[in-house]
Structure 1
Amino acid sequence: MDLLLETDPDVMIGYNILNFDLPYLYERAEALKIQDKFHRMGRIRGCRTRMGNRQFSSKALGTHDYKDLNIEGRVQLDMMVIIQREHKLSSYSLNAVSAHFLGEQKEDVHHSCISDLQNGNEETRRRLAVYCLKDAYLPQRLLDKLMCMYNQIEMARVTGVPMTYLLTMGQSIKVYSQLLRKARTHDFLLPNMKVNGNPNDGVAYEGATVLDPKMGYYDKPVATLDFASLYPSIMMAHNLCYTSLVSPERAKMMAPEDVAQSPCGDWFVKAQKHKGILPIILEELLGARKRARADLKAEPDPFKRAVLDGRQLALKVSANSVYGFTGATVGKMPCLQISSSVTAYGRQMIMFTREEVTKKFTRANGYETDCDVIYGDTDSVMVNFKVADVTRAMELGREAAAFVSEKFIRPVKLEFEKVYFPYLLMNKKRYAGLLWTSPEKHDKMDSKGIETVRRDNCLLVKDMVTTCLEYILIKRDVWGAVAYVKDLIRDLLMNKIDLSLLVVSKSLSKDVDAYDASSGHVELTKKMRKRDPATAPVVGDRVAFVIIRAAKGAKAFEKAEDPIYALDHNLPIDCQHYLEHHVKQPLLRIFEPVLKNPQAELLQGDHMRSMTLSTPSHAGGIMKFTKVKLSCLGCRAPLSKPGETSLCVHCMPQESAIYYRSMKNVADLEGTYSALWTQCQRCQGALHQDVLCTSKDCPIFYRRKKVQKDLNEAQNTLARFVDEW
């Protein structure tokens, strides 16, 4: 507290400080009976800091509980909340986020080890100090790397809300603030409406159009035509606003040229008669964004560029959130006539674009072929002009965008941005392709709706999907992808897949007793609490688990097990479960457009017989009481004669070769373990220290534990030769 008052910071940053650090300090001060002195964290004298429970809910971000501390004059900037809102990652732990954005991690210390380190010696306390320092240093580096400060300040300036609101509230308050500001200048008053209900409830209305996809593999360039700022453009073009909405009776009393009816039957006054407040706000936002982007291109100073980039991003997000504000049925000012009219105009424009493009680009009009619109989604239309050249597809795309844009009311504009070549269309909102913005070389492999970023998928599925897409799209080798999949399935069924690739993680969002239905991570948490309550997961943790083999008929949630526990106790993995519930469906989705019968090609054949060779389950019943005899290291036959410790009489002539093989196995495992250890040290930035990392989000952690176990077993095997050599 003394440090806080002495430094007098404007901004307090950290990682998960809203839900852990600050509430912990608050409660710790109460436990020590020093709350009168400590609870003065703000800049207003005599104003006591208090803590309350708050809940934030939205369709986009879900429901989150958090602690609210009033610290007047200081911004509480929680990097965890910012990254959760702005980035889609497989894990949001500080280790995983730092590894993703910075290429390094902290020295992870489990909370159960902190007391032992503190009560140890100078070295253990130093390790604890380094852990705490990195806990504060990494969020600061993330703040700089992601330019969060610029973005947050500019968003607050654009929308007129305090910075704290940006993390603890949704989009509605930003739009409402802008409405208040603009209404005042136009002598309007906003109604004070009561907010009731849940944001996930409310009256539904027809959303955007998704044209039925013509699924398949397209080996010719597919041009993508996008509407620039579609919903804001519609609201400006048709003057959709609270202040321009009129009843059907009132519309009949007005001149026909002053009103227009939307496709869903609602009436709005045209801009020439009265310009609405929402279109004025949108015009100012998009105009300011256009100026900011122009200034950004001409600005050489890195600091000013960062500010301008943050400003144009804030302006873009603010403009796009106005439509959602009108459609939020439990928001500040819901108006379904506006939101349903916007989507109705959007559907109409998508259909109109498809008709105009297919009508113009035909052989009859002098073009190479008759084009085909293969897919459309909300604000984009994908056109197959059936030309082999990327350059020609881009030319036709620009021509089509300009041709259709002329037929729309300004400022609605159709733009050409990119070409996909080749293109794999699997279903609605599921596609992948090489993205080209210039004809020289593709920019990247782009995908949507594919199992590459879903957090509840194991790393095996993500790697498999990515590799298959690389074979199909980049190498153009479908049968190479098929061969890769068969090898992968064979290795999976033979239990040759690295354990780190099979780990699944799910968040424990509430106490285990509060869950209605049973699930793997919940049941595993209960088991881990019985084994060791100190190290068991707590609410807010992500629970990592693998699926092990169990008795026939056992349910999936009963087979979830801690990966380290399964490794230490040699528990066999349920490979068939991973094949059926994790691997099969993503594979069929990818290969359905390129193979006639993907089920037969991928999931039938000799490679599926390998499951009979997979690791046997543990011996049970009377077998666990039998005395295990040593077996020959050469032929695996039981050693029955006196004096035999490593080889039987039949393998003794090959003793030197078998000994050399055992030594080589130990050397190889030592090399692998050293490489993994060094990689962990580099990740922590501590090459001169031991590795403390226990990050269960990192696959190297599991690989290191597995290699360590295999090395111990190999060294024990080699030790059986000692008495004879």
Structure 2
Amino acid sequence: MDIQILDISTDDVDDEFIVSIYGKNNRNINVILHVNGFKPYFYLKVPNSYTEKYCKDILLKNIYYKYENYIDIKNSEFKLRSYKEFFNYHIDENENIKKFSFMKLIFHNYRGFLQMKRKIIEYYTNNINNTNPKVKSFIKCNNKDCESCLYEANIPPLIRFIHKLKIEPSNWINIQNYITIDDPDFKVLELSVHLNNVKKIDNNNISNYKIASFDIECDSSHGDFPLAIKDFKKPALDMIECYSIKMKEYCEYTIEQKIYIIKCIVYSLFDLDTEDSIDIDKIYLSTNKPNIDDNFELFSKSFISMIDKCHEDKKLRDNAIKYISNSLSKLKSKNKKIKIKGDPIIQIGTVFKEYGNDNIKRVIIVIPNESNDVDICDDIDGIDVVRCSNEKELINEWINLINIEDPDFITGYNILGFDFNYIHNRVTELFNSSTNNIKFNKNIEYNLGRININYSNKYYNKKNVYKKVFKKDIEDNNDFNDKSYINMDGRIIFDVQKEIEKSNNLESYKLDSVSSYFMRGQIKNIKKIKLIDDNKILHNLVLEVNTIRNLKINDYITINTYSNIGEMLYKDGVKFKIINIIDNYITIDITNHNVNKKELLNYNKLEWCLNKDDVSPYELFNLHKNGGGSGRAKIAKYCIQDCELCINLILLLDIIPNNMGMSNVCNVPLNFIFSRGQGIKVTSVVSKICDIKNTRIPTLVDQSHDNSGYEGAIVLDPNPGIYIDDPIAVLDYASLYPSSIIEENLSPETLVEDKEYIDKLKKENRLNDVCNIIEYDNYETILVGKTYKKIINKDKPIETCYFIKNKRIKDRGVIIPESMGIIPTVLKDLLDERKNTKKKMALEPDEFKRKILDGLQSAYKVTANSVYGQLGAKTSTIFKKKVAACTTSVGRKHIDDARRGVIEWAEKEKLEKPEIIYGDTDSVFIKFSRKTIDGKILTGDDAIKYTIDCGMKSGEYITKNILSYPQDLEYEKTFYPFILISKKRYIGDKYETIKDVDNKKFKRTSMGIVTKRRDNAPIVKYVFGNIIEKIIIDKNLDKTIEWLDKTLNDINNGKFSINYFIITKSLRGYYKNPLTIAHKVLADRIGERDPGNRPKAGDRIPYVYKKLTYEELYNTNSLYKSGPKKGTPKCKKVLQGDRIELPDYIKSNNVDIDYSFYISNQIMKPVEQVLELDNKYNKGVFQKYIN
């Protein structure tokens, strides 16, 4: 039988180590294959003087007298062997590579593996000072970086299994002589086979895997962000804010009156009878209301003293919040502590899609509101609606749905950060709740894997469990948040948001922004039409596009415009509804929008961008509570829309084939690619080569204490300027760091740290023949105040390292493979395989298979760069700081080689000396002279073509005459014009080939430019973009200044729409110091003047800076009594939040906008950074517009 592997896991079953392979056979039937016969193992280094008999009879018994319980002593491989060391270059007196003695310890199961590892560490630690010669020799034979003579004890046995079988863990295998097991515990075909009957086969096809994308929708009792389990923190916060408002109304309350106010607040909080009810969010309890008497600790003078002081200091405020929370949580009802009701899950949407075909299924599971509406949810076209009566039934129905549909991949957007955790917390609360007869077994949430939890199964071993992984436990700290998920055996779980964050640097990772960024197409033409329907005039726009991707009728799109000042959303991002799609023609409704066709066609380029039909949190909560069946149907469409967007992103970005390619390249299971960092992937590829080269990797001691450092990638000092006449060529090294490692043979086992051997080579004048000598600046990290600072180590400022040279067929020629170190071998294999895969990709006619190959070649490149990264990572299994430091040192040297080589090439060609204006990590920016060899000065297109030619020829010259194999300096691109502001900040029009110049095909490219920042108002992008455009097109600073002066004058005189000055920020539910958060102060002010429209947590608040009145700036009741300001009013303390207002409020109340603020605080700095590049610039243009 042929099986494509989906996932691999391991278990100890009846004291035997079992590998379970999940996959699909060639008939697309799900299979679980249990493989027996593999034994976990690691190595124990012992002195070369030890015999095998001594190791077995004495050493291992001293370590643990019952070691036979763990170790398979009958296994033929349980014996003493000789291997090379991965750390440092070791030779004997004849300069032959030295080998060391290792015991290969083979275990019955993984439990024994871990137990024996622990026993060895204990034995080593307890005997460090033992004087017995035999024991002492064991302690002494340990490498200083190694943990207790253990080698490869941190490589998961699963990785060993993959290496031993030489299988690709996301590809196809063939099995023979298998046994079929008929067991009700399994929901799929279950097989058992011995290790020897599993073989790899070549097959590039991907099975019709089923993807399930899900999303949950929750209610909220108060309209704030939903919480599955609630504590008393928010009520405590509400109490403090409510009390603060009361104190502002009247500041002469007595202590007794203040206590009475607190009583009223607390009684109102719990909706208890009180003479003076206070407007505060009520607490909804899952228990009865509390019994509160006059002795309650919040009704005291000491508490009044605490709450009166809490506004003075955020620590006092935090203490007050904790005190109130603790006091409220102690309240009881009928001798039972009260409990706040959590916000329920009200809908779960799931979209199922089969990979490789068009089969799709949409399912929404819905419950009614607390009033138990009879009309739960209307029918929805294209969506199966499952109606449930309560939350328990909803969760059970979703579990049943997953088990019936049996998907291979479970995904969604932010499911690891929110959805899984919320489901778990709701089940926990429902399990502990006795109300509404909802109590049920919380373990029901775990029955989501391919093994049925309701039966006792010998292969079931805590596979389906809720897991919470905290950031400090996540390998490489590569996750942005803590992860929570329900582990489901046989299903791969991944988060679309995490996958996009891994490989893209976006301004926003909200699903709406992400879908708009990726799901887009070009608008080629526009036709405006007018219709009359039921005496109503309808206006539509027909867009001819190059692709419709996954667009559907009733989707929403925005129009992205491209002009010479950059990219902007049309009409501030208004969303247009699609009413028809025919072939590549999209019809959108513009009836309520004033769309100017001629204006649109004047832009350089137009794109449509898919957007969500967003439902605000407040609207969602209201639709559930008060919208009836149609309202809940609207929520359902919104929920399914999010699920389907995730599916579309997965398909568009080839997330599955790309990660399967990475799995096969790194020889790790697919779930490792999604759930773990770079470390395990590099460990796998390196240990595989070590096995081939009979080399053992030490299990490293904790390196986190190492405070030494080294210099990172070089950045050449830029020569900032406005390069209007001179094109700038960019030369780039292909895989600079991996190539540097191969070139100089940098690897832990080629590093010579034996001083006697180095001295011997020096004495014999052989050092330069035998070793590559590399120096780097040696840094240390010290604590200065509260921050760490990297400084040069005074005792040893320069570190010199020696690496054994590789052997080449001829000078700078091809390296003889046998002479290469392990890390260079790993990297060369990866880069060679990438080249081969790219060749196959070019010849592959099938688009689907081409995508698979593209994912594979990308995986080779990423893995190669990860190997270098892991050498410098303290948590890595191959951490060797000296190797990483020397790699960056070689890289810096090659940037200098490029700078020197370009000048050398120009001299040989008898051209004027080129200028290196910038260098960054692995590339150099070059201004070649436009003066040709015959004295002609080129301009415009001729200059660009000439620069491209110079770039290509100089790159080829440097590669051939200065660099050593495998270094390759390639021509990459040419900028014309180009503005270099500072390090990592530039903008220019990019051309790649001479053909691009002929076709006028260029792309405006920028890095680190102010228009990328989200906290800037649109006016900044408008002014800055036009300044850049004027400089590049007009090439006249005086005209640019003239335009700027006129524009600033127009801004100051209010000639720009208010939309240019709007900034939006998201409101959080809690701030440690809310008075310092401008939009939080504004939100509170909105709530005071309009309680019904108080912004909720999660809302985005638009605001504009307003001009403050005299009364707002000065306190006319407090005058200076002496000095030069005597008799004049004192300035008020004005918060940032007092300086901003809602745009609608500003318009309706004729409030003046503070244009001076925008000019001085947002526009001036970025614009001046560009203008100051020209010596003729005079700063005066801004000063007259700043108050």
Fold match by TM threshold 0.5: yes
Q: How does 1:650-669 map to 2 (within 5 A)?
A: none
Q: Which among 456, 468, 471 is matched to residue 52 of structure 1?
A: 468
Q: CA deviation at 1:527?
A: 6.1
Partner of 1:520: 1078
| CA deviations over 1:447-481 (Å, ceiling 9, x no partner) | 11211323333333234333332333355455554
CA distance in 1, matches of 2:903, 2:628: 77
The correspondence for 2:689, drawn from 172, 182, 195, is 182
Query: Does residue 113 of structure 1 match 2:619?
Result: yes
The letter for the 2-side match of 1:99 is: S
For residues 857 and 1092 of structure 2, what CA distance do their matches in structure 1 show? 49
Cα distance, 1:237 vs. partner?
0.3
From 972, 988, 991, give the equivalent of 1:433: 988
CA distance in 2: counterparts of 1:481 and 1:537, whole angstroms = 44
Corresponding position of 2:190: none
Relative distance call for 1:339 and 1:503 in structure 2 (3 A) is: farther
Equivalent pairs counted in the alignment come to: 601
Per the alignment, in what secondary structure is the counterpart of residue 918 of structure 2? strand
Structure with higher helix content? 1
Structure of higher RCO (CA pairs closer than 8 Å, 6+ residues apart) = 1
Q: Within the alignment, does 1:31 sit opposite 2:429 as a pair?
A: yes
| 1:454 maps onto 2:852 in alignment | no
**1:80-159 alignment, distance < 5 Å:** 80-102=497-519, 103-118=609-624, 119-159=626-666
SS in 2 for 1:452: helix
What percentage of residue pairs aligned between the two structures are identical? Answer: 29
Superposition map of 1:284-303 within 5 A = 284-303=829-848
Moved more, 583-592 or 519-528: 519-528
The CA deviation at 1:587 is 0.4
Structure 1 residue 69 corresponds to structure 2 residue 624: no
What's the Cα RMSD here?
3.2
Residue 120 of structure 1: how far off its partner (Å): 1.9
Distance change (3 Å), C-alpha of 1:488 and 1:77: farther
Q: Deviations over 1:193-243 (max 9, x none)?
A: 355759xx9533112222221221221112111111111110110011112
Deviation track 1:158-216 (CA, whole Å, cap 9, x = no partner) reads 22344444444433333223223333333333333355759xx9533112222221221
Which residue pairs with 2:700 in the alignment?
A: 193
DSSP 3-state at the match of 1:316? helix
Partner of 1:373: 916
Does the residue aligned with 1:84 lie in a helix, a strand or coil? helix
Q: What whole-Å deviation, never above 9, does each CA across 1:31-59 have from its counterpart, x for those lacking one? A: 33342322222223334421324216899
Q: Deviation per CA, 1:331-355: give whole Å up to 9, x if none.
A: 4443221111111112222123222
Unmatched 5+ stretches in structure 1: 612-725
Residue aligning to 1:708: none
Q: Tell me what 2:804 maps to.
A: 269
What is the distance in 2 between the residues matched to 1:501 and 1:554? 25
1:545–1:604 Cα change, 3 Å: closer
Deviations 1:684-703 (A, max 9, x none): xxxxxxxxxxxxxxxxxxxx
Of the three residues 713, 718, 724, the one matched with 1:213 is 718
| C-alpha distance after superposition, 1:306-333 (max 9, x if no partner) | 1122122222122122222112234444
1:681 is aligned to none
Indicate the larger mover: 108-117 or 333-342.
Answer: 108-117
Instruction: Quote the offset at 1:294 in angstroms.
Output: 1.7
1:40 corresponds to 2:447: yes
**Residue in structure 1 matched with residue 496 of structure 2 by the alignment:** 79
Q: Paired residue for 2:747?
A: 241
CA contact (8 A) 1:194 1:332 kept: no
Q: Are the structure 2 counterparts of residues 169 and 502 from structure 1 closer, same or farther at C-alpha, using a change threshold of 3 Å?
A: farther
Q: Secondary structure at the match of 1:51?
A: strand
Partner of 2:963: 408
CA distance in 1, matches of 2:1083, 2:712: 40
Q: Pairwise mapping of residues 145-544 of structure 1 onto structure 2 (< 5 A)?
A: 145-195=652-702, 202-218=707-723, 219-247=725-753, 249=755, 250-253=757-760, 256=767, 257-264=769-776, 265-272=800-807, 274-362=819-907, 365=908, 367-387=910-930, 388=938, 389-406=943-960, 407-439=962-994, 440=998, 441-474=1000-1033, 476=1035, 478-479=1037-1038, 481-505=1040-1064, 511-513=1070-1072, 518-520=1076-1078, 523=1081, 536=1095, 538=1097
CA distance in 2, matches of 1:564, 1:149: 46
> What SS class does the counterpart of residue 382 from structure 1 fall into?
strand
Change (3 A) 1:458 1:73: farther
- 1:603 paired with 2:1182, answer yes
Distance across 2 between alignment mates of 1:194 and 1:110: 51
- Deviation digits for residues 401-430 of structure 1, max 9, x if unmatched? 111112111101111121111111111211
Distance 1:567 1:188, change over 3 A: farther
Using the alignment, how far apart are the partners of 2:903 and 2:865 within structure 1? 30
- Gap change, CA 1:378 and 1:27, over 3 Å in 2: same
1:330–1:51 Cα change, 3 Å: closer
CA contact (8 A) 2:468 2:482 kept: no
3-state SS of the aligned residue for 2:471?
strand
Deviation, 1:10, is: 0.7
Mapped partners of 1:474, 1:158: distance in 2: 48
Q: TM-score when scaled to structure 2?
A: 0.47
State the one-letter code of the partner of 1:51. K
Give the 3 Å change call, closer, same or farther, for CA 536–571 of structure 1 in structure 2. same
Greater shift in the superposed pair: 395-404 or 114-123: 114-123
Q: Does residue 593 in structure 1 map to residue 1009 in structure 2?
A: no
Quickly say closer, same or farther: Cα 1:114–1:216, change in 2 above 3 A. closer
**CA-to-partner distance for each residue in 1:83-140, whole Å, 9 max, x for gaps?**
2222222221111222222212222112233242134244323322221121111111
Give the direction of change, closer, same or farther, for the CA distance of 1:331–1:547 in structure 2 (3 Å limit): farther
Q: Is the 8 A contact 1:107 1:130 kept in 2?
A: no
Q: Tell me if structure 1 keeps the 8 A contact 2:959–2:967.
A: yes
Classify 1:458/1:78 alpha carbon distance in 2 versus 1 (closer, same or farther; 3 Å).
Answer: farther
Question: Unmatched 5+ residue regions in structure 2?
Answer: 1-398, 432-439, 454-461, 520-608, 777-799, 808-817, 931-937, 1114-1132
The alpha-carbon distance between structure 1 residues 500 and 421, as it changes in their structure 2 partners (threshold 3 A), is: same
Go from structure 1 to structure 2 and tell me whether the alpha carbon gap of 1:480 and 1:148 turns closer, same or farther (over 3 Å shift).
farther
> Cα–Cα, structure 1 residues 28 and 60, in superposed 2: closer, same or farther, change >3 Å?
closer
**Cα distance in 1 between the residues matched to 2:1040 and 2:645:** 40
The letter of the residue matching 1:339 is A
Bigger shift: 157-166 or 275-284?
A: 157-166
Equivalent pair of 1:89/1:455 in contact (CA under 8 Å):
no
* Matches of 1:429 and 1:38, distance apart in 2: 49
The 8 Å contact of residues 537 and 543 in structure 1, kept in 2 or not, is answered as no
The answer to whether the Cα contact below 8 Å between 1:426 and 1:592 also exists between their aligned partners in 2 is no
Shift of residue 598, structure 1, vs aligned partner: 4.7
State how far apart, in whole Å, the 2-side matches of 1:279 and 1:30 are: 52
Any idea what the Cα deviations from partners look like across 1:561-616, whole Å, max 9, x if unmatched? 5656666766544332222221111101222224622523x4256xx38x8xxxxx
Q: 1:101 to 1:342 in 2, by over 3 A?
A: same
Larger relative strand fraction:
2
Tell me which residue corresponds to 1:10.
408
Partner of 1:640: none
* Inter-partner Cα distance in structure 1 for 2:959 and 2:1096: 56
Distance 1:263 1:556 in 2: 52
Normalised TM-score (structure 1): 0.75
